[in-house]
A and B are shown apart, each in its own frame.
Chain A
Amino acid sequence: MIKSKPILSINNLCVNYLTKSSYKNKQQYAVKDVSFSMFQNRSLAIVGNSGCGKTSIAMSVLKLIKPESGQVFFNGKNIHKMHRSELFNFRRQVQPVFQNPDEALDPLMTIEKSIRMALSSNILKSQKRDMIISLLENVGLGQEHLKKYPYQLSGGEKQRVCIARALSTDPKLLILDEPISSLDISNQAKIINLLKDIKEKQNLTFLLITHNPNILKFLIDDVAIMKDGEVLEMSSYNEMILNSQNEFTKRFFRNEIG
């Protein structure tokens, strides 16, 4: 592994949720003291069974939830201490692709408008349309989709639009939160191939959140195994497949845990 300055570092991250009951409010930990670093061009997958805290980490990295404690550094800067302009730049460089494409697009916006909203305001209006067309072509969608609304697209097409939208800000890090889990088998394969292509062409780094071990070998270099809010082990994918001694990891890769 080539060690350079990490693109993303997470130090002692703790995320908890308040569960309200009729008797008392209870703090429930989703992520307990998690630390890891990611390097440019080395994509990482956070894997584990449902409810182990994977998505909470992704949301913390995107600064969409406030962690209880711990820090998240992007290119060496603490994302919770960024100025407005720094935060804006950070947001443009870290883009998410969410699990359910049906909910990830505004139902009242055409595909063109959804992507247009993500484009930088510095780009000339006349250039924006060409950029949108080229972004859609990048993900295998034609111009005929520009004026369509999300409900007129299939699940796979919607996910492609979400990927095109994420790419429109020219990001460095793409956070893929279960990007194929709500798609059918044929669309799953197409989206994996698309992500693989994009990663190579655009020199992107992925932070992949998944409970499906089968897609790891196509997209990522390193794996972190999570259980009950903690990272059990982290290493390169090949090393983990060959040498992991952890029973939970072995069972996970045998597809016994989902």
Chain B
Amino acid sequence: MIKLITKIWKNKNGKFGLIIISVILFFSIFAPILTSFNPTMQNLNIVLQKPSFSHVLGTDYYGRDLFTRILYGSRVSLSISIIASAISVLFGTLIGVISGLSGKYTDNILMRIVDIMLGFPKFFILILVISMGSFSIFNTIIVLSLFSWMDTARLTRTETLLLNNTTFIKAAKAMGMNKLQIIFHHIIPNISGIVISSYSLLTGSMIILESGISFLGLGVQPPNASWGSILNEARLDPLGGWWVMLFAGIAIVTTVIGFNLLGDGLKEILQPEHYQDD
């Protein structure tokens, strides 16, 4: 882990991504220490105050400290996106590797399932599922994971197919290694670079999806905050309280950029020629 972080640090994109994500995670985890305000407590005497020393990012329409709401909001946005992309990437990798290594029938069936799943508009299904029941972090994670594994499956299948034709896998088969040994010793290490980077990139897009749902009012319900719901509230008077929309937007954009940079950096450093032991 320390070796990986050192390598990320040496990569320009990875370094910036890691700094951004670390700072955001730090703020998210230590939110109760970093602010003395309550994220849901209303104070109608200080409605829509501009950024000042007492309220660094100003206050919103109900007099709540915006900095506090963004900190607490990050917990919902990040936990949903991090967990949902982890499930999607793990499941997608499993399907991709099985598909790439198995014969044409299993491969065909799995890839047709992927095609069908890709046909579903996941944003609308997510809205449908949430509007049928009530919003819960669990429901959102399940729906996001169910409809986000296909790209990883396709990617890992292609990589597995390519790897399965390489001479070193032929040598492994000739040595008497079984399929499981080949998967764990050769395939997974060789596709881990693209899997980790696609995880990071997917987390970025999950944040946007989650914010979209909350923006439509279907996500976290008031008075709780998520970045999307803060944006939704800012919609009431975008010019009067411009800082609400601006800072919530910056939080989303910065986090997505952070994950994308980290993903790009990981893609570069997990190439074999950068992989060294010491």
Contacts and interface: CB of A to CB of B under 8 A. Distances in A.
Nearest to B186: A106
Contacts of B171: 96, 98, 104, 162, 165
Interface in B253-278: 272-273, 275-277
A169 B272 contact: no
Interface string A157-190: 0000010010001000000000000000000000
A103 B166 contact: yes
A94 interface: yes
Given A103-B167, A106-B190, A117-B185, A95 B273 contact: no
B223 interface: no
A94 B176 CA distance: 10
B242 interface: no
B174 A91 contact: yes
Contact of B167 (A94, A100, A118, A151): A100
B159 to A, nearest CB: 13
Interface in A206-247: none
A140 interface: no
Nearest to B193: A108
A67 to B, nearest CB: 16
Given A96-B170, A106-B168, A108-B189, A91 B176 contact: yes
Nearest to A110: B277
Nearest to B181: A117
A105 B169 CA distance: 9
B203 to A, nearest CB: 24
B174 A117 contact: no
A124 interface: no
Interface residues of A, number: 27
A91 B174 CA distance: 6
A104 B177 CA distance: 15
Contacts of A104: 167-168, 171
Nearest to B189: A108
A2 interface: no
B10 interface: no
Interface string A90-126: 0110111010100111111110000001100000000
Contacts of A147: 277
B277 A64 contact: no
Contacts of B189: 106, 108-109
Contact of A92 (B168, B176, B277): B176
Contact of B173 (A64, A98, A108): A64
B272 A108 contact: yes
A95 B174 contact: yes
A151 B272 contact: yes
Interface string B169-211: 0111111110000000110011000000000000000000000
B175 A118 contact: yes
B168 A96 contact: no
Interface string A43-69: 000000000000000000010100000
Contact of A96 (B174, B185, B186): B174
A108 B275 contact: yes
Contacts of A100: 167
Contacts of A108: 189-190, 272, 275
A91 B176 CA distance: 5
B172 A107 contact: no
B275 A95 contact: no
A169 B168 CA distance: 16
B174 A94 contact: yes
A177 to B, nearest CB: 9
B112 to A, nearest CB: 19
Contacts of B273: 107, 151
B267 to A, nearest CB: 15
Contacts of A169: 175-176
Contacts of A96: 170-171, 174
B55 to A, nearest CB: 51
Per CB-CB distance, the 10 closest pairs between chain A and chain B, nearest first, are A107-B272, A91-B176, A103-B167, A104-B167, A106-B168, A88-B176, A98-B167, A108-B189, A118-B175, A96-B174
22 contacts: A64-B173, A88-B176, A91-B173, A92-B176, A94-B174, A98-B170, A98-B171, A100-B167, A103-B168, A106-B168, A106-B172, A106-B185, A106-B189, A108-B275, A109-B185, A109-B189, A117-B177, A117-B185, A118-B175, A147-B277, A149-B272, A149-B275
Given A103-B166, A109-B189, A169-B175, 13 more contacts: A64-B170, A64-B174, A87-B176, A91-B176, A92-B176, A95-B174, A96-B170, A104-B168, A107-B275, A110-B277, A118-B175, A149-B276, A151-B273
